[in-house]
Amino acid sequence: MNILEFTILIWLGSLGAGFLGSLTGLGGGVVIVPLLTLVLGVDIRYAIGASLVSVIATSSGAAAAYVRQGFSNIRIGMFLEVATTLGALVGAVLATRVSNASIAIVFGIVLTYSAYLSGRAQRDSTRDIAPDPLAQRLRLDDSYPTAKGPKAYRVRAIPGGFSVMFAAGALSGLLGIGSGAVKVIGMDQIMRIPFKVSTATSNFMIGVTAAASAGVYLNRGYIDPGLAMPVMLGVLIGSLLGARMLAGAKTRVLRLIFAAVILALGIEMIYKGLTGRL
């Protein structure tokens, strides 16, 4: 395989990763890193560096579209980014001090849990709940567009959501992913934010989280422009396509396919990490 074929293959894989990551709010990094390491034989730290660049592109592409459509809650995103940024810095520092096998095992566990989250049916988070005093003080309650007009929702459990976002940031810095799975479960299951709003706000947040840890990887020399460029371009285009489809899409089938793919990748990553093949 020559360099051109290698680059095209990376671009096509990144295109699909960005598309599915944008629709599900999980981010394309959960596919990019296993694709580069398991299929193409790239060192996992360079794969993580390229993935972080792609995560920034995903956020820049999809988040802008979601903001225009009215799905993203900017106030929640900015508030929770404080926690994710701090966590990302901690995770990025840890990533330079642990072995490839350890990173692969942790990544595999995150992938299998992401598969579980992506594949299961989502409950309705929009039912009436009591107002949260802290959410009201921070003016986090909002509404999002539906076919029947704007639908209001309330936010709750702010401290719990903030803590989960710190963990999400640490995973992002350690593994080179947007850690959208953790962000979405934090907002959807704990803070009771509607799923589409959680997805859109997660895409808005992951770029800032990734940028914080990408600086550490850049300083360590783990970001290769020749690898990061096709990954970034593929994920950016894919995320824009996914954002266009979110408003009217029934994503159940896509979520099940995505869950099956990342479950297989997660098992493979754990196996390779345990057997020392990375």
Residue with tokens 């404080």: 82
pLDDT per residue rounded down to tens, the chain (278 residues) = 788 888 898 999 888 887 877 766 666 667 788 888 888 888 888 988 888 888 777 666 666 777 777 878 888 988 998 998 888 888 888 877 888 788 778 878 877 887 777 666 555 444 556 778 888 888 888 888 877 888 888 888 899 889 989 988 887 777 766 666 678 778 877 888 887 788 788 877 877 777 777 877 888 888 898 899 999 888 888 877 877 776 666 656 666 766 777 788 788 778 878 887 65
The secondary structure of residue 190, as a DSSP letter, is I
Q: In this structure, which long-range contacts are made by residues 222-228, counting pairs with CB atoms below 8 Å and at least 24 apart in sequence?
A: 222/45, 222/46, 222/48, 222/49, 223/46, 223/49, 223/50, 223/52, 223/53, 224/46, 224/49, 224/50, 227/10, 227/36, 227/42, 227/46, 227/47, 227/49, 227/50, 228/49, 228/50, 228/53, 228/54
pTM given for the model = 0.68
Three-state SS for 42? coil
Distance separating alpha carbons of residues 214 and 220, to the nearest angstrom: 10
- pLDDT of 125 reads 47
Beta bridge partners of 143: 152
Alpha-carbon dihedral sign for residues 17, 22, 24, 29: positive
Domain count, the chain: 1
Distances (CA, A) of 191 to 25, 170, 184, 188, 243: 16, 20, 10, 6, 23
- Rounded to a whole number of angstroms, the distance between the first and last alpha carbons of the chain is 21
What H or E segment, with its residue span, contains residue 27? none
| SS3 state at 131 | coil
**Which tokens sit at 154?**
């309330």
Alpha helices in 141-188 (DSSP H): 158-175, 180-185
**What region, left, alpha or beta, does residue 143 occupy, with left being phi > 0 and alpha being psi -120 to 50 degrees?**
beta
Rounded CA gap, 249 and 271, in Å? 35
Place of tokens 């949260």: 132
Task: Identify the burial level of 8 via C-beta atoms within 10 angstroms of its C-beta, where 0-12 means exposed, 13-18 middle and 19 or more buried.
Answer: middle
Torsion angle of alpha carbons 90, 27, 11, 35, nearest 10°?
A: 70
Q: Give the residue numbers spanning the domain of 202.
A: 3-275
Distance CA 190, CA 220 (A): 36
